[in-house]
Amino acid sequence: MTADELQTIISAGLACEHLSVQGDGRHWYATIVSAAFEGKRPIQRHQQVYATLGEKIRTDEVHALSMKTMTPAEWTAQGRPQS
C-alpha cells in the first residue's frame, strides 16, 4: 500500500476538501478535512474514515492510521486556505 493508494481509497468513500497521507507502508498519518464531519465527535469522524477502508483494516493491510479530522470551518480557523 502506498500513500497515494490509501488517499484514493479514503477519498472514494468520503468527500474531502483536503486530504494528505504520509507513512511507511504500515503506519500512516492522515489529515482529513470534510464537511461530512460537521456535528460529529472525533470518534465518529474516525469511524467514518475507518469505514472507507473496510477490509484493508480488518486484514491488517493498513496496520495503523493516525488521523487529524477537521471540518472546513475548523481547517480555515487554523489559518489554512479554503479549497
Identify the band that residue 26 occupies on the pLDDT scale cut at 50, 70 and 90: confident
CATH placement of domain 3-77: 3.30.300.90
DSSP string, 29-43: EEEEE-GGGTT--HH
pTM for the complete prediction? 0.89
pLDDT value for 83: 53
pLDDT at 30: 97
Please report the pLDDT score of residue 61 as a whole number.
85
pLDDT tier, 17 (very low <50, low <70, confident <90, very high otherwise): very high
8 A C-beta contact, residue 45 and residue 37: yes
Asked if the model's pLDDT at residue 50 lies above 60, the reply is yes
